[in-house]
Amino acid sequence: MLRVVAVAAAALALAGPAAACVHPKTSLSYLEGQIMCPTCHTTLDMSEAPAAQQIKAQISRRIAECWSAKQIETELVGNFGQGILAAPPHKGFDLLAWWLPLGGVLAGALLLAVGVWRWSRTHEPEPPETEHETDPETERRLDELLARLD
Amino acid sequence: MTRTLKLTGQGLALVAVAGLLGLLVWRLTHQTHPPKIGGPAPNFALRRIEGTGKLNLASLRGKPVVINFWASWCVPCKGEAKMLEQAWKQYRSQGVVFVGVDYHDVTSDARTFLSHHGVTYPTVQDGSGMIGDKYGLTGVPETYFVDRRGRLVGTHIIGTITNQVSAFRSGIRAALDQ
């Protein structure tokens, strides 16, 4: 009986860490691209700095505890401030960071469209030349020439 | 129509240039310069790692203060932790206050570091690094000395104090003497 209990306890102890999170909600590779290294100002996936290594280890621990990406990001923001996020949040003043580039692209496209439209108007093919009117002097000389030919 | 379009384009270009100029001026006027020895120590109110609440540097006015910037991921910081703790125990009877500022660090790792190295003096967290930037930090560890009037004194120690023991002792003496 004791042996059974001991075996069961050992099995539970071994299974503990593995059973901590059988269905992780996010991955280190995803978060490495979303989180900045505070000392080197690149994303974690681009950094081997000690601070980055430490944050990666922290993220791995949280993933093993079944935390979601949002929960991990919230904890890191609480720890390091908003600057730890690679992308600004979609709210408040930070929205400008999302909308300004889009507005710039739209304004550029609009300007380009107007420019192309104007250019196409100034370069429209000229209508074929119609009958030229001749001045009276030329007409008179032509008549004279024709009369001589007759 | 053409004239209106031309004027609008020119106006937009002017606004864009003015905006960029404004950003440049703002950046230049808001640059942080590292504090000078003899000048006031930049104030801070940071969350304590152990315990609750914030520690405000201004509240320590009237006491000599040793500010040590460190991080748990910083290998040299481990080497000087023991000496800092010993110095704190040696000088606290003379009214010297040691303050550890944990720079760009994960809180749980910082707590483990403090516990592992037996650090008992107050330690605060500068997760965003804003205070480190105010002090013109170039890395960790770095140590500053503040006199009773809140001015930076002695020599700002870049690197571990274990390699600069005389500068460390002189800094504490300068903070005590002023």
Summarised one tens digit per residue, pLDDT across range B38-85 is 999 999 999 999 988 999 999 999 999 999 999 999 999 999 999 999
Distance from the Cα of residue B64 to its chain's centroid: 16
Which chain A residue lies closest to B139 (C-alpha atoms)? A39
User: Cα–Cα–Cα angle for A137, A139, A143, nearest 5°?
Assistant: 120
Residues B135 and A121: their CA atoms lie apart, in Å, by: 61
Which residues in B lie closer than 8 A to residue A78 (C-beta atoms)?
127
Nearest to A58 among B75, B104, B106 (CB): B106
pLDDT at B160 over 50: yes
CATH number of B45-177: 3.40.30.10
Tell me yes or no: is domain A19-86 CATH 1.10.8.640.
yes
How many A/B residue pairs have CB atoms within 8 Å?
A: 45
The single-letter DSSP state of residue B136 is T
Burial call A12-30: b when 16+ CB within 10 Å, e when fewer: eeeeeeeeeeeeeebebee
Phi, psi for residue B43 in degrees, rounded to 5: -80, 160
In a mutational test of the A interface, the residue from B7, B102, B128, B137 whose CB has the highest number of chain A CBs within 10 Å is B128
Domain ranges within chain A, ordered by starting residue: 19-86, 89-117
Does the beta-carbon distance from B109 to A58 stay under 8 Å? yes
Summarised one tens digit per residue, pLDDT across range B29-39 is 877 788 999 99
pTM of the model: 0.73
The ipTM assigned to this model is 0.75
Does the beta-carbon distance from B128 to A114 stay under 8 Å? no
Nearest to A38 among B5, B72, B104 (CB): B104
pLDDT at A16 over 50: no
Residues B147 and B65: their CA atoms lie apart, in Å, by: 6
Nearest to A54 among B106, B128, B129 (CB): B106
